[in-house]
Chain A
Amino acid sequence: MIILYYLYKKFSFSLILSERFRYQFYEVSMKFRALFSGLRSLFVKGAGYVFLSGILITGLLIFLGNRAMRYTSTDEYCLSCHSHPHVEPTWRQSTHYDNESGVIVHCFECHLPPKGDNHLMMKIKHGAKDVYGEWFKDADKINWEEKSTLENAIHYTYMSGCVDCHDNLFPSTLSKEGDEAHLYYTQQKETVTCLNCHLSVGHYDENAIHAKNVDFGKTVTKPTVVFSEPAVVDEFKDFTEYIPQTNVSFEMVAVSGGEFNMGSPESEAFRKPHEGPVQRVRVNDYWMGKVEVTWDEYLAFFNATASEGRKSLEELQRDAGVDAITGATPPWGAPDQGWGKGDRPAITMSHFAAETYCRWLSKVTGKTYRLPTEAEWEYACRAGTDGPYFFKGDPKDYSADGFMKKIFKPDTSVINSYVIYLLNSEGKTHEPGEVKPNLFGLVNMVGNVSEFCQDWYAPDVYASYSGEPVMNPTGPVSGTEHVIRGGSYRSDAADVRSAARDQTRTDAWLVTDPQIPKSIWWYSDCIHVGFRVVCEVESVLTKQ
């Protein structure tokens, strides 16, 4: 007993000599103590020496284990594998490295939960994944940009780690907007995470702006070509529209009306109940934008109408009858996500903003532009086809759902040639030129960005339609959310079927907008929805 006690003392004494072992000493000694008392009774019965060596070996293992834990949590160790080029510089440029207080936040403090909160398990889990990735994957082929998006970042960044350091969510230096945002967070921890607003605090992103972006979309250089007049159209065929006083033009496709089966049969894979019952529907002729409204087009509107002063939705709806169109206020953050503007589809505008864009476009072109009805949208998407897609293939093959897909990769070359979706988008929108059009000549009808329709959303609206065929249905007379169609760059193949339906989610899409009232022009938390315009034939051809 005394020998053991002596060894124990000596062992701890030699450890305590070194400052850097203090932490291990504490942990080791606590574990020793536990072992000590637990085995005491056996020891007294005479089995002491067996346990003496057992304890020493266990102690040594714990000691080495602790050292290993420490070593594998150093920044150097993390960075020895995580060698993709942006990781280290963006971390060093971030506020978690470069800040007034001089505190450096280390890799493991954000990317593992705090000690005592499943730290070890998560370390093993992420470690195993990283080792697999390091040995079996090619780092150059991994889309790191996509990995850095909010959707992915929340899987390897721990909010418990954030609040472990950021104890005080209401420091007196916090702004009014910050107060509001943090109060919201404390009440809605399920729906909003720290990263929703603070995504780039650990890895600097030059495109990230969490502020009112007053310079957004302002072009510095004047365009060389400026259209003075809108397109003159005298027959029902494809035409190019010109936005007067800008250098922006876009293609409109003549869609000859007809009948089609709207919705999907119950036999269709991944079908949801709100896609039925299938209705025979007839729509009249209309023109439809060949591609989704681009940033160039949308910014022409934004720059012509943008206003600093804010008006309420009620005021704006009242003003809708008068000539002057008040456009969007400056957005919060970077609406284009730093992916680039130009021909890329415009995103993050609200449904109201999209409708206002159409009113403005109608005014400057003298034609009637509007959002498509859901029926017009599906008719145009199907372009005469009746299957799940307007191209060949089975949703069950294309969907990433299911474990077997990871092993037996089906041929996705057909869908890849038509659709920007989850498996080929690399987590962002693409320019329309990258895929083929459908039979009507329309590009990106499904995928790339989801598209607003003018209809209110109701899950059971098809059942309410009557008529054989149903003539030009326009959805429910009222509602709270609108229909969106087509799926987006983040959709699985199941959700880019011609009949797939979805809806706007106004509250969720404004979660992190700190303004009061929240913007009616920009969604702070929706980056996958845009729109496409239709032009009414009567507004153009009956005029002559």
Chain B
Amino acid sequence: MEKNSKNLTRRHFLETAAIAGTIGTLGIGAAISSCSRKKSHEELGLPPLLDMAPDGQKLKAGLVGAGHRGTGAAKNFISAGRNLEITGLADLFQERIDACRAQFHQYDIDIPEENCFTGFDGYLKLLETDIDVVILATPPYFRPEQFSDAIKAKKHVFMEKPVAVDPVGIRSILSTAQKASAFGLCVVTGTQRRHKRDYIETYKRVANGAIGRIVAAKAFWNQEHVWFRLREEGWSDMEYMIRNWNNFIWLSGDHILDTHVHNIDVINWFAGKLPQSAIGYGGRHRRVTGDQYDFFSIDFDYGDGLSSHSMSRQIDNCANGVGEVVVGTEGYTNCENRIYNPDGTIKWEYDYPKDEKGEPLTTVKISEYIQEHIDLVTAIRTGQYINEAEQTAHSTLTAIMGREAAYTGKKITWDEILNSDLKLGPEKLEMGPVDMKLEVPVPGTAVTID
């Protein structure tokens, strides 16, 4: 009897196990093969979007590039949660460091003077101080080398977009990104639309088929002219160019990278793929300094009939606007907060938080500038790894491909640009005269891009 019951029990167990196993297998199979099932927030690789980073050990950050955006990013970092500090600065210019320290002083935060460094190698000294995170916010030209050194020094990284100005720099970012992953170092880039809750909610719906198959897109960043500086007496070539970096191709990558990369990144993100080639126009009419263009119009070909028209312009008194549109077989979206039916009626709209009177606000609950730091600190403190270097390198390279298509007038393919030897900038980085040809590119005259 006892033997029997034992047998029965065992038999029962085996049967249960077999059934469970079958269901398990079916379940996994169904999950893999199913396309209709909605993908979750996590499955889409989206950040957790907490209102505040979880508490944890103190994280000390150093800021490289203490200008306007850098100082802003440093403030965003300490606003992301508790126990977050800025403990060191690096900038080419002493007065930038002084100004940044003064701003933090207003919040009763003192950045010790001995942790502040000037010069081209100041950031290397900063990396030797006791910091956990480094914020890279210099002109993009410097990013690849600084990112590489930051990962070598085993720091988590927040870095601004764009992440490089040329293909050689992009490839450096791509390999450093792999090293960061190997070390488990988190990397968040300044493509803040990917951390903005309305964009993310829109993306989730589009990724789950809200507008059907994507068939067309456009991205635009058309604005007034941007800041520039005229050369002052006593400034060397190098000092002038860096103080006026926003107007030199080798430092900023041109505005198609510097600003428009945000929109280009959104299209790559929503399309779920990268363009195969670009053909485009561009020119320079109104710019006062530097060698950049002031408008671009690029057709990015994503293959399978999908094209994205990409416009960027920095000229006063023109039709201006910034944004994206993605068109699908079953509707279209502005990517930010609305999804339309093909007839133009609204299919879905982002539900913005409301003010005290119950009126909807025009912005998300947590500013995307702070959200990206919350997402970084959350990843560091919870171990939910994040590394955006590769995706932003790809979007930056997309912009570079468009830029070179406009500069040369030729069709530039992804393979060409990814493997191009194009490297911008002077031979040596030092204050003083710079022996560089600074010619505005003329389409149709370039021999080859590599």
Q: Which A residues are within 8 Å of any B CB, using their own CB?
A: 1-2, 37, 40, 44, 168-172, 174, 176, 179-180, 182-184, 187, 314, 516-518
Smallest distance from the beta carbon of B50 to chain A beta carbons, Å? Answer: 31
CA distance A2 to B14 in the complex (A): 16
Q: Name 28 A/B residue pairs within 8 A (Cβ), A-sorted.
A: A1-B7, A2-B3, A37-B14, A40-B14, A44-B11, A169-B178, A170-B179, A170-B182, A171-B179, A171-B182, A172-B151, A172-B152, A172-B179, A172-B182, A174-B175, A174-B179, A179-B171, A179-B172, A179-B175, A182-B175, A183-B174, A183-B175, A187-B418, A516-B168, A516-B421, A517-B421, A517-B450, A518-B421
* Cβ of B183 under 8 Å from chain A: yes
CA distance A171 to B182 in the complex (A): 8
Contact of B182 among A37, A40, A168, A176 (CB under 8 A): A168
Q: Which B residues are within 8 Å of any A CB, using their own CB?
A: 3, 7, 11, 14, 18, 151-152, 168, 171-172, 174-176, 178-179, 182-183, 418-419, 421, 423, 447, 450
Q: Is the CB of A180 within 8 A of B171?
A: yes
Residues of B within 8 A of A2 (CB): 3
CA distance A184 to B419 in the complex (A): 8
Query: In the complex where A179-B172, A180-B171 touch, is A170 in contact with B178 (Cβ < 8 A)?
Result: yes
Q: Is the CB of B175 within 8 A of A172?
A: no
CA distance A168 to B3 in the complex (A): 55
Give the residue name and chain of the B residue nearest to A179 (CB): B175
Give the residue name and chain of the A residue nearest to B174 (CB): A183
Residues of A within 8 A of B423 (CB): 516
Residues of A within 8 A of B3 (CB): 2
Residues of B within 8 A of A1 (CB): 7
Interface majority SS (helix, strand, loop, mixed), chain B: helix
CA distance A378 to B165 in the complex (A): 48
Give the residue name and chain of the B residue nearest to A507 (CB): B419
Give the residue name and chain of the A residue nearest to B419 (CB): A184
Smallest distance from the beta carbon of B390 to chain A beta carbons, Å? Answer: 11
Give the residue name and chain of the B residue nearest to A518 (CB): B421
Smallest distance from the beta carbon of B66 to chain A beta carbons, Å? Answer: 27
CA distance A176 to B169 in the complex (A): 11
CA distance A341 to B421 in the complex (A): 32
Give the residue name and chain of the B residue nearest to A187 (CB): B418
Contact of A183 among B18, B171, B183 (CB under 8 A): B171
Smallest distance from the beta carbon of A211 to chain B beta carbons, Å? Answer: 20
Smallest distance from the beta carbon of B173 to chain A beta carbons, Å? Answer: 10
CA distance A172 to B178 in the complex (A): 10
CA distance A314 to B448 in the complex (A): 10
CA distance A183 to B390 in the complex (A): 12
Smallest distance from the beta carbon of A313 to chain B beta carbons, Å? Answer: 9
Smallest distance from the beta carbon of A180 to chain B beta carbons, Å? Answer: 6
Residues of A within 8 A of B14 (CB): 37, 40
Q: Is the CB of B183 within 8 A of A172?
A: yes
CA distance A169 to B178 in the complex (A): 8
Residues of B within 8 A of A172 (CB): 151-152, 179, 182-183
Give the residue name and chain of the A residue nearest to B167 (CB): A516
CA distance A171 to B180 in the complex (A): 10
Smallest distance from the beta carbon of B12 to chain A beta carbons, Å? Answer: 12
CA distance A40 to B183 in the complex (A): 49
Smallest distance from the beta carbon of A261 to chain B beta carbons, Å? Answer: 37
Give the residue name and chain of the B residue nearest to A516 (CB): B421
Residues of B within 8 A of A37 (CB): 14, 18
Residues of A within 8 A of B419 (CB): 184
CA distance A124 to B364 in the complex (A): 63
Smallest distance from the beta carbon of B171 to chain A beta carbons, Å? Answer: 5
CA distance A507 to B423 in the complex (A): 19
Residues of A within 8 A of B447 (CB): 314
Smallest distance from the beta carbon of A318 to chain B beta carbons, Å? Answer: 11
CA distance A450 to B43 in the complex (A): 54
Give the residue name and chain of the B residue nearest to A5 (CB): B10
Smallest distance from the beta carbon of B282 to chain A beta carbons, Å? Answer: 23
CA distance A44 to B175 in the complex (A): 60
Most A CB contacts (10 A, CB to CB) among B172, B179, B447 go to B179
CA distance A517 to B166 in the complex (A): 13
Residues of B within 8 A of A179 (CB): 171-172, 175-176
Q: Closest 4 interchain pairs by CB?
A: A170-B178, A179-B175, A517-B421, A170-B179
Residues of A within 8 A of B152 (CB): 172
Smallest distance from the beta carbon of B174 to chain A beta carbons, Å? Answer: 5
Known: A172-B152, A179-B171. 17 other contacts (CB 8 A): A2-B3, A168-B182, A169-B178, A170-B175, A170-B179, A172-B151, A172-B183, A176-B172, A180-B175, A182-B175, A183-B175, A184-B419, A187-B418, A516-B168, A517-B421, A517-B450, A518-B421
Most A CB contacts (10 A, CB to CB) among B175, B179, B183 go to B175
CA distance A37 to B447 in the complex (A): 71
Smallest distance from the beta carbon of A179 to chain B beta carbons, Å? Answer: 4
Residues of A within 8 A of B11 (CB): 44
CA distance A184 to B167 in the complex (A): 12
Smallest distance from the beta carbon of B384 to chain A beta carbons, Å? Answer: 21
